[in-house]
């Protein structure tokens, strides 16, 4: 979900995947077995199609705070309730705002220990605070009036592409892979447009293809820790005898050349974009030497990498939810017909009247968090919580899956916490509840900078899809069938029906697309420092 990302779980899933994939059911015993970890666990026999059942069972057995150890010596602390996560990552954030070191990720960004140029993995210091300040205006409320028209544009193209896909083939059945391709283009065009003023008109766009290729290489490194991650002194071996150095240097050069080229493109655009905004803020810093072009390029790349895969994968769960609770689709249609009508597409100006759509988005994120372990933190000194000791240097995770099922926080009277019930996000007056946690965006000072962008774009995509289509599964869909895709959980392949709600759908989509402004310099407006305007 935006800017919380493929990189939004860099080390988290490399290690946490082992935590929930290796806990398994015995063949003749339905009770959860003790947690088994990578290398020493039975990874090959893990039921990969439903890892969350095992992860959830294990965390419930552990209670509010779980404390596994990798290899029996590396301490982990897993926070399974909203209270525990808020206490440590919110109230005690000074002790828990740094990241565990990822040697591979530092090497592929040519960085010192705990100073990765991928800012998500950088320790929380003055350098990181400046880089956060450089990005915050572009990802927050002040830039929203510039970015939301871009989101509306890309949702229009999503609808046009989806209608063409189902009508051009003479069928209404699509696979989740087919829809993911459309969603991926949509999200990429929003993220690249926001950061660099670059549109992605098609999934085959050469620049988009290049970005995905490099991103997949980075993802592979992060998801497959090498020996140097477990024995950090190996990083000091000379490149001649170090396969890690040679591979890391090659990938660093690929990233550097691509990211600097993207920055150059953005700076040459006449309109507003996040690159220009970040550089303007850096220029106002009293220590401008702290932000060379290379660091700026990697900061922006971290942000785009974090946003490009999250929202598309999250949105796929909307189709699974339509099987788990088909009644919400009809309610959404009614809300959209009443507030938007059938002679135009949804807009952000409709948002205050589409609270039920907001509730669907929030429930989707709670019900199926795509990064169940969130981003890991490091304990900077010994501590304790609820009587559980925390060792200095321990790695901590906030378990978004368990937090979203915290009975002390979420009311079960409207439906069990394993059920998809958007109404749990509405108060007695029908307004959206903002007091409930969306744990997938993190906690405290290291929470996701791109939360506003993620929620805005997901709202527009969900509203648009439900305005246009009857959504229904084809055959049986196992709502717990999932797989680990990169660093995220995603539903296993399934098919569904995407049928236009009437002839008016294609007519309205085509009419609005024909008059859409696709020049991003015009769409997002001329350059102006939004921080001071």
- Residues at the binding site for heme are 448
> Cα torsion at 453, 458, 463, 466 (round to 10°)?
170
d(CA 297, CA 258): 9
Which residue ranges are tagged as binding site?
448
Gap between the terminal Cα atoms of the chain = 29
Torsion angle (degrees, nearest 10) of CA 121, 225, 222, 247: 110
Other CB atoms within a 10 A radius of the CB of residue 336 amount to 23
Instruction: Name the token pair of 21.
Output: 């994939």
Alpha-carbon dihedral angle through residues 67, 68, 71, 72, given to the nearest 10 degrees = 50
User: In whole angstroms, what is the distance from residue 269 CA to residue 493 CA?
Assistant: 40
CA atoms within 13 A on the CB side of 291: 27
**DSSP 3-state of 522:** helix
Distance of CA 44 to the CA centre of its chain: 27
CA nearest 364: which of 1, 96, 106? 1
How many angstroms separate the CA atoms of 102 and 365, rounded?
27
Query: Among 14, 55, 6, 69, which Cα is nearest to 401's?
Result: 55
Residue 44 burial by CB count (10 A; 0-12/13-18/19+): exposed, middle or buried?
exposed
Instruction: Classify 227 as helix, strand or coil.
Output: helix
Q: Assess contact for 306 and 471: CB atoms under 8 A.
A: no
DSSP one-letter code for 240: G
Residue 472, beta-bridge partner list: 497
Residues in the chain: 533
Q: How far is CA 377 from CA 9, 31, 347, 395, 484, in A?
A: 11, 31, 38, 6, 21
Strand pairing class (25-26; 65-66): unpaired
Question: What is the Cα 265 distance to its own chain's centre?
Answer: 25
Q: Which two tokens stand for residue 171?
A: 């069928």
CA distances in angstroms from 498 to 215, 400, 412, listed in the order given: 30, 30, 31
DSSP 160: H
């Amino acid at each position: 979900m935006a800017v919380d990302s493929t990189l939004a779980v860099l080390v988290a899933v490399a290690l946490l995947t082992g935590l929930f994939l290796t806990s398994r059911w015995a063949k003749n015993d339905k009770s959860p077995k003790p947690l088994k970890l990578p290398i020493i666990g039975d990874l090959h026999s893990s039921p990969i199609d439903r890892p969350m059942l095992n992860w959830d069972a294990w965390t419930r057995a552990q209670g509010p705070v779980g404390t596994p150890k990798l290899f029996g010596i590396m301490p982990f602390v897993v926070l399974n309730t909203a209270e525990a996560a808020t206490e440590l990552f919110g109230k005690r954030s000074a002790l828990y705002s740094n990241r565990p070191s990822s040697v591979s990720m530092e090497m592929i960004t040519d960085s010192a220990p705990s100073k990765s140029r991928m800012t998500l993995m950088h320790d929380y210091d003055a350098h990181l605070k400046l880089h956060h300040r450089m990005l915050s205006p572009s990802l927050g409320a002040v830039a929203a009036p510039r970015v939301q028209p871009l989101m509306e544009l890309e949702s229009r193209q999503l609808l046009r592409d989806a209608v063409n896909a189902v009508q051009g083939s003479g069928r209404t059945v699509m696979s989740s892979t087919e829809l993911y391709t459309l969603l991926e283009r949509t999200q990429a065009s929003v993220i690249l447009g926001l950061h660099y003023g670059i549109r992605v008109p098609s999934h085959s766009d050469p620049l988009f293809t290049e970005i995905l290729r490099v991103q997949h290489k980075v993802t592979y490194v992060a998801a497959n820790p090498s020996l140097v991650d477990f024995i950090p002194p190996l990083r000091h071996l000379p490149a001649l005898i170090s396969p890690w150095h040679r591979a890391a240097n090659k990938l660093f050069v690929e990233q550097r050349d691509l990211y600097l080229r993207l920055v150059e493109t953005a700076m040459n655009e006449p309109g507003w974009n996040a690159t220009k905004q970040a550089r303007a803020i850096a220029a106002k810093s009293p220590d401008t030497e702290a932000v060379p072009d290379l660091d700026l390029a990697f900061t922006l790349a971290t942000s785009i990498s974090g946003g490009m895969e999250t929202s598309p994968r999250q949105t796929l769960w909307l189709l699974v939810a339509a099987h788990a609770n088909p009644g919400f689709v009809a309610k959404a249609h009614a809300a959209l017909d009443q507030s938007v009508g059938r002679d135009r597409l949804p807009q952000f100006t409709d948002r205050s009247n589409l609270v039920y759509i907001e509730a669907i988005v929030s429930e989707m994120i709670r019900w199926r968090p795509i990064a169940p372990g969130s981003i890991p933190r490091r304990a900077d000194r010994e501590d304790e919580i609820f009587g559980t000791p925390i060792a200095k240097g321990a790695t901590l995770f906030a378990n978004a899956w368990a937090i979203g099922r915290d009975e002390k926080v979420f009311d079960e009277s409207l439906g069990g916490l394993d059920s998809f019930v958007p109404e749990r996000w509405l108060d007695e007056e029908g307004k959206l509840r903002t007091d409930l946690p969306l744990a997938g965006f993190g906690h405290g000072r290291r929470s996701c900078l791109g939360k506003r962008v993620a929620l805005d774009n997901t709202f527009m995509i969900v509203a648009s899809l439900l305005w246009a289509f009857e959504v229904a599964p084809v055959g049986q869909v196992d709502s717990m069938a999932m797989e680990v895709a990169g660093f995220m959980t995603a539903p296993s392949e399934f098919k569904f029906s995407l049928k236009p709600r009437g002839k008016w759908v294609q007519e309205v989509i085509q009419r609005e697309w024909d008059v859409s402004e696709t020049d991003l310099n015009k769409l997002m407006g001329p350059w102006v420092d939004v921080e001071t305007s």
